Amino acid sequence: MVRAMATSKRVAAAREPTAPPATDTRQRIIQAGLAVLTRGEPFSLGEIAREAGISRQALYLHFDSRVALAVAVAQYSDELFGVEQALAPVREATDAPSLLRAQARFVTKYNERLYPVVRMADALRQTDPDMAAPWEDRLAARRAGGRAIAARLDQWGALSDEWTVETAGDWICALASVKLWEELVIDLRWSKERFARSLEQQLCSALLRTPGEEAPTAVAHSAKGTGKKSRA
């Protein structure tokens, strides 16, 4: 193949995402991996290599193992989707209903896009301990995201009394899971629109204080209220 020089591995790590010439082999492998993963399933390394136009053995010049490649593909897929940008509406929401609406829309798009990758990662983590750690990281990030939403709801006095910030965050995280999305959209054939709509509604009815109840400023029975329990 081409490549050569002090280019390639070191460069790939340092390359900014703004330079997509993709002449880099490592990058080509990752893209091939994503392509193979996205269509169908079986996921054989030989297939990815063929797709990338290199020999199977060359994969091992760039990745220690199947899992390392999978992790790289997952990360690339994340970057490609642009989580940061997609999350902007969620971060910028200024009231509870629009926050939850933004979250529902984000979740719908994100899960649709990341579904094949998460699927594979989930399958791999069962058999491969090396996949467990990255998986945990992602889970922690999702959990933190859910908790951040719950914390803002709580700050606004919008969080229903039955929740703590922690439990509400976990529930938000669970409802945002690819698995729930898969169950409804893939297995039960829901349309994305219906999923988004239902998720929004359910987030609202699950989390939000019902309008008729105590005002956010009023500290009622126990130690509930505005600053419920922001961290342990």
Contact positions toward a copy of itself, by CB under 8 A?
41-42, 119, 123, 126-127, 139, 143, 162, 167, 170-171, 173-174, 177, 179-180, 182-184, 187-188, 190, 194, 198, 201-202, 205-206, 210, 212
Among 57, 126, 217, 222, binds DNA (CB under 7 A): 57
Helix 25-38 and helix 45-52: axis angle, to 10°?
120
Contact 176, 195 (CB under 8 A): no
- Judged by beta carbon, residue 2 or residue 232, the one nearer DNA is 2
198 lies in the binding site for DNA (CB under 7 A)? no
Q: Which of residues 11-40 bind DNA (CB under 7 A)?
A: 25
Phi then psi dihedrals of residue 201, to 5 deg: -60, -45
Tally Cβ neighbours within 10 Å of residue 115.
16
Q: Contacts with DNA in 164-183 (CB under 7 A)?
A: none
Is residue 41 at the binding interface for DNA, with CB under 7 A as the rule? no
The neighbouring-strand residues paired with 208 are 159
Q: Is 211 exposed, middle or buried (0-12, 13-18, 19+ CB in 10 A)?
A: exposed
Identified binder of DNA from the candidate list 22, 38, 46, 201, rule CB under 7 A: 46
81 near DNA (CB under 7 A)? no
Which of a copy of itself, DNA, none interacts with 206 (beta carbon under 5 to 8 A by kind)? a copy of itself
Question: Cα 106 from chain centroid?
Answer: 10
Summarize as ranges the residues that interact with DNA (CB under 7 A). Answer: 1-5, 7-10, 25, 42-46, 53-55, 57-58, 60-62, 64-67
